[in-house]
């Protein structure tokens, strides 16, 4: 099946005349995972929840007695001698439901273990965009990825997931953002305009067999300092597509900005990512494979993931598209939400109740006002609205996390992944057999109880990036040449990947030709 391509700025004209967007949705396989049925809230409960949301109140359940006293010495000894990963299951027969074909109806609460593992997998792909990002303003490569795409997963210990990075994505913006666009203090830098914002990866043969389809993943990076972008992302919404959909100006600027005078953003992030997605879809569909697109991101990355999903759904017919976001803000109005729904995009928002970022923009005027729609008889198209299903997590459910106010810790992606790993349902305490390494929570914040004896903000380069040279002086090391950002090298690597894929196709078809 041919996939349509787009000429210039695709996000501004993503719908073609006569296109029936409802028919773009691929029929979903109706497979129900084994799970106990959950009760539907009654009308009074729904009204209470709506008013609570409107007023931004969180009505907490009674104190959980199950958050009990822990023998930390015994706990540490037991946890340190067990693997931090659960076994992989073959989900090939039920992947559509895990990816949201039924909007995660009965597998979210209680959380099905297969879905939990997939959420954590995609969350770790999003976390990689932080762990490999060069934050050092004294580095001439500040704002880039520390490693080339062939080494990214190996350096971060993510090869176990069975994906290969095929493309890096760079972004710029025409609005002033104080900390989103990290810039080097060094005069001669790799780029004055662009930042590394994410990557595209694709499942290998083994993982493809396990999950039942060839999975293309796009991971988007969030803000460096999320507390600083609130003022920048309070601008008016602007139209997207050809209908009534509108999205926040700052998010759209990052996604679509480009400049011929730059090295890395002669094409926008939108154009970079869509070119790669279209190429991969054509390649694997041409091999007769079933293909899915899963887009993930944290914070700002979650907002960019929605914009990416909107464009991909409007461009590539019959492609199953899921968004798994963490701590993401609102992006657009109700029309934007409805269009995504009509196009078949499945969105799962993972949200920590104590995190303030998902409440923005639209702290006061948001989807909570829709309780008055029936009275007014008209949709409030000027308010921000969340999209999709929600998995709500609570910091107080974990005995490993400190109590009290910690805005950075509440928003940290590692806190999110810790809470997902321990989540069973909305009323059950943290599960005792959670396996993910608790120490990861304190990588870039101070959220773990002191009894665990894990230093806060421990994740950094050894000696903060300085090395002792042959003369005994401490200096900043030079990067491996393969890890230095280079548009020419990335283009060359991209062509090499295409040749590698073509050779793979020839080898895969040769037994058929000789039969």
Q: Which two tokens stand for residue 108?
A: 């979210």
**For residue 444, what are the contacts with CB-CB under 8 A and spacing of at least 6?**
130, 408, 412, 414, 457, 459
Please give the Cα distance from 510 to 320 (Å, whole number). 30
Backbone angles phi, psi at 285, to 5 degrees: -65, -35
CB 237 within 8 A of CB 336: no
Q: Which two tokens stand for residue 22?
A: 């409802």
Angstrom CA distances, 161 to 216, 498, 515, stand at 13, 22, 34
- 3-state SS of the chain: helix, strand, coil percent to 5? 40, 15, 50
Active site residue ranges: 299, 355, 411
Nearest to 105 by CA among 39, 193, 199: 39
Nearest to 59 by CA among 70, 42, 47, 77: 47
Q: What is the pLDDT of residue 32?
A: 53
Backbone angles phi, psi at 342, to 5 degrees: -65, -35
Q: What is the pLDDT of residue 242?
A: 82
Helices (H) and strands (E) in the chain, counts: 14, 11
- What's the predicted TM-score (pTM) here? 0.80
Q: Which two tokens stand for residue 355?
A: 């995190």
Predicted confidence pLDDT, tens digits, the chain (515 residues): 444 444 444 344 444 333 333 333 343 444 456 554 444 555 544 544 554 454 444 434 434 434 456 766 666 666 666 777 777 899 999 999 999 999 998 999 999 999 999 999 999 999 999 999 998 888 888 889 999 999 999 999 999 999 999 999 999 887 765 555 677 777 677 788 889 999 999 999 999 999 999 999 999 999 865 555 554 455 688 999 888 899 998 899 999 999 999 888 999 999 999 999 999 999 999 999 999 999 999 999 999 999 999 999 999 999 999 999 999 999 999 999 999 999 999 999 999 999 989 988 866 565 555 555 544 445 566 688 999 999 999 999 999 999 989 989 999 999 999 999 999 998 888 998 898 999 999 999 999 999 999 999 999 888 888 989 899 899 888 888 888 887 765 655 555 545 554 544 434 333 333 33
Q: What is the pLDDT of residue 426?
A: 86
Angstrom CA distances, 287 to 198, 213, 505, 515, stand at 27, 12, 8, 18
Q: What is the pLDDT of residues 341-372, one digit of tens each?
A: 999 999 999 999 999 899 888 665 655 555 55
């Amino acid at each position: 099946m041919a996939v349509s391509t787009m000429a210039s700025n695709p996000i501004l004209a993503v719908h073609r005349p006569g296109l029936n967007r409802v028919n773009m949705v691929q029929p979903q396989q109706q497979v129900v995972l084994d799970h106990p049925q959950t009760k539907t809230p009654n009308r009074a409960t729904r009204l209470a929840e709506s008013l609570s949301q409107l007023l931004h109140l969180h009505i907490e359940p009674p104190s959980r007695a199950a958050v009990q006293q822990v023998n930390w010495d015994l706990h540490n000894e037991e946890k340190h001698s067990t693997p931090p990963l659960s076994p992989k299951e073959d989900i090939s027969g039920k992947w559509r439901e895990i990816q949201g074909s039924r909007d995660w109806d009965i597998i979210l609460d209680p959380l099905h273990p297969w879905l939990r593992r997939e959420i954590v997998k995609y969350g770790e792909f999003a976390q990689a965009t932080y762990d490999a990002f060069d934050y050092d303003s004294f580095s001439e490569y500040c704002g880039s990825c520390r490693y080339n795409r062939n080494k990214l997963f190996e350096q971060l210990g993510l090869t176990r997931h069975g994906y290969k990075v095929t493309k890096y994505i760079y972004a710029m913006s025409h609005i002033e953002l104080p900390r989103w666009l990290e810039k080097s203090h060094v005069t001669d830098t790799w780029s004055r305009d662009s930042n590394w914002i994410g990557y595209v990866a694709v499942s290998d043969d083994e993982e493809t067999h396990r999950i039942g389809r060839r999975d293309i993943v796009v991971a988007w990076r969030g803000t460096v300092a999320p507390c600083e972008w609130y003022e920048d992302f309070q601008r008016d919404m602007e139209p997207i597509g050809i209908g009534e959909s509108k999205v926040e100006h700052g998010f759209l600027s990052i996604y679509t900005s480009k400049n011929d005078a730059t090295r890395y953003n002669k094409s926008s992030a939108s154009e970079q990512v869509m070119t790669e997605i279209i190429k991969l879809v054509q390649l694997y569909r041409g091999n007769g494979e079933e293909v899915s697109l899963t887009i993930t991101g944290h914070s700002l990355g979650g907002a960019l993931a929605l914009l990416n999903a909107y464009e991909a759904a409007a461009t590539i017919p019959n492609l199953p598209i899921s968004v798994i976001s963490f701590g993401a803000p609102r992006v657009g109005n109700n029309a934007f939400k409805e269009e995504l729904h009509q196009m078949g995009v499945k969105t799962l928002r993972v949200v920590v109740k104590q995190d303030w970022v998902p409440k923005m923009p639209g702290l006061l005027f948001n989807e909570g006002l829709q309780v008055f729609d029936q009275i007014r008889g008209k949709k409030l198209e000027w308010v921000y609205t969340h999209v999709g299903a929600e998995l709500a997590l609570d910091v107080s459910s974990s005995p490993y996390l400190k109590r009290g106010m910690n805005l950075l810790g509440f928003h940290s992606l590692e806190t999110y992944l810790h809470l997902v790993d321990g989540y069973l349902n909305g009323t059950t305490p943290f599960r005792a057999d959670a396996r993910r390494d608790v120490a990861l929570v304190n990588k870039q914040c101070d959220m773990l109880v002191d009894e665990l004896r894990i230093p806060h903000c421990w994740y950094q380069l050894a000696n903060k990036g300085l090395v002792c040279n042959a003369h005994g002086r401490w200096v900043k090391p030079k990067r491996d040449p393969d890890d230095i950002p280079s548009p020419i090298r990335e283009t060359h690597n991209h062509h090499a990947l295409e040749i590698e894929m073509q050779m793979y196709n020839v080898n895969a078809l040769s037994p058929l030709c000789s039969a």
